Amino acid sequence: MQRFKPGIFILTLLALLHEVNAQTIIRGVVKNPKGKGLYGVSISIKDSYDGSTTDSTGSFSFTTTEKGERVLTASSVGFKPYEMPVNPAGGSLNLTINLKEEITELDAVTISAGTFEASDRKRATAVLDPIDIVTTASANGDITGALKTLPGAQQVGESEGLFVRGGTAAETKTFIDGTLVNNFFYSSVPNIAQFSRFSPFIFKGTVFSTGGYSALYGQALSSALILESIDLPERSAANIGISVLSLNAGFQQLSKNKNSSWGLNYGYTDLSLAFAVMKQKQDYSKVPAFHNADANFRFKTSKTGMLKYYGYFSANKLGFTTNSIDSLNYLDKFAISNTNHYHNLAWRENIGRKWKINIGMSYTNNQDDINSSMQDNDEKDVLLTGLEGKT
């Protein structure tokens, strides 16, 4: 028979009494601005696991072993977060918490069917800056390559241009600072889609419509690609880039009074090494090589006025042969040498609060020297004078 040990019983009883005295019961009610109890309000001691949730009458109750100065928090959807200091020291605390409604202002949502706008405007439907364009998968840093990923635009692999909802490339026009751009893409070659000539980094805003566009542009088009060139740069800058395929350099000079700027850029690209590593379907006799240069000038005519000039020049050439699809055992030879220069001068000015004036002019000169012929299997030029057939 085991003997009763009063010492152990007394120690256990004292430990239980100490634990009970160390706990604080926190109870109370949470009300809304009208004085009614709130259901589902989360109540807790900040930086601890102690807390509770209010019932249907707004009442709550929980125990905590926290001591000293603490912060009690109360939160609920639609109400401002609430905090109050408490000092648990055993016993109980009775609290009344009044929450204030949190007023949330929702911005108006404008839905424009079939329109994707990318610019720095505050109410743009979607934002697509130059970094987004050059990092878009499959776009290859090309403006139109990124836009082709949008709904309503078709992917066409053998011809350049923007094809919208089954239309041809001729049904989509491009405008820079409000003026039409002819020869926006590099000159067409058979069965190979060409890229656009212009870098996305010279534009601050890109607006592409697949459903409707301003009557300002007219011409009964399927869509319009509207580009806005950047204004004054934030600071003077220079850059140089060297890779196995290209070389480029440029600079932008901002005046001391920050009212004007000018800049020059040059780039050269040669795809010889790339085509040596990655074999192409075409047999290139002249690997594509491109020279590109541009110049710009910007002048702030007033607080709201800006005069901008942009000039662009490019020279490129390529040549290749492919199997003829019209004549068996013959080759189609194609070579092109292209020079293009484009100039754009635009001025905008606000006249009072309700009027704005925009004046722009552009000039494009594009020259293609094309050599197309047919060759035999020995790659010698031939001339077919007639066709023979048997029935």
Using alpha carbons, select from 247, 102, 283, 135 the residue that is nearest to residue 201: 135
**CB contact at 8 A, 367 and 338:** yes
Query: Measured in whole angstroms, how far is the alpha carbon of residue 379 from the centre of its chain?
Result: 47
Q: Give the CATH number of domain 112-230.
A: 2.170.130.10
**CB contact at 8 A, 42 and 76:** yes
CA distances from 373 to 188, 272, 369, 376 (A): 17, 23, 13, 10
Position 181: which residue type? V
SS3 at position 277: helix
Exposure class string for 76-94: b at 16+ Cβ within 10 A, else e: beebeebeeebebeeeeee
Strands 59-64 and 82-86: unpaired
Looking at residue 386, what is its pLDDT?
55
Looking at residue 297, what is its pLDDT?
94
Beta carbons within 10 angstroms of residue 193's beta carbon = 19
Beta carbons within 10 angstroms of residue 30's beta carbon = 26
Element (H, E) at 243: none
Q: What is the dihedral of CA 146, 194, 188, 286, to 10 degrees?
A: 180
Beta carbons within 10 angstroms of residue 11's beta carbon = 11
8-state DSSP, 15: H
Rounded distance between C-alpha atoms, residue 230 and residue 207, angstroms: 14
Q: Which two tokens stand for residue 185?
A: 């893409």
Give pLDDT tens digits along the chain (391 positions). Answer: 455 555 555 555 554 445 555 688 999 999 999 999 999 999 999 888 889 999 999 999 999 988 889 999 999 988 999 999 998 888 888 999 999 988 766 555 444 444 444 443 443 334 467 777 888 777 777 888 888 777 777 777 777 877 877 777 777 888 888 888 888 888 888 888 888 888 888 888 677 766 555 556 666 677 778 888 888 888 999 999 999 889 999 999 999 999 999 999 999 999 988 888 888 878 888 888 999 999 999 999 988 899 999 999 999 999 988 888 777 788 888 899 999 999 999 999 988 888 889 899 999 999 999 888 888 777 777 776 655 544 4
| pTM of structure | 0.61
Looking at residue 390, what is its pLDDT?
47
| Long-range own/partner contacts, residues 211-218 (CB < 8 A, 24 or more apart) | 211/112, 211/113, 211/114, 211/115, 211/152, 212/112, 212/113, 212/114, 212/115, 213/115, 216/178, 217/173, 217/175
Looking at residue 153, what is its pLDDT?
77
Position 86: which residue type? V
- Give me the DSSP letters along 292-353: EEEEEEEE--SSS-EEEEEEEEEEEEEEEEEE-SSSTT-EEEEEEEEEEEEEEEEEEEEETT
* Domain ranges, ordered by start, for the chain: 6-98, 112-230, 231-384
Looking at residue 217, what is its pLDDT?
64
The architecture (CATH level 2) of 6-98 comes to Sandwich (2.60)
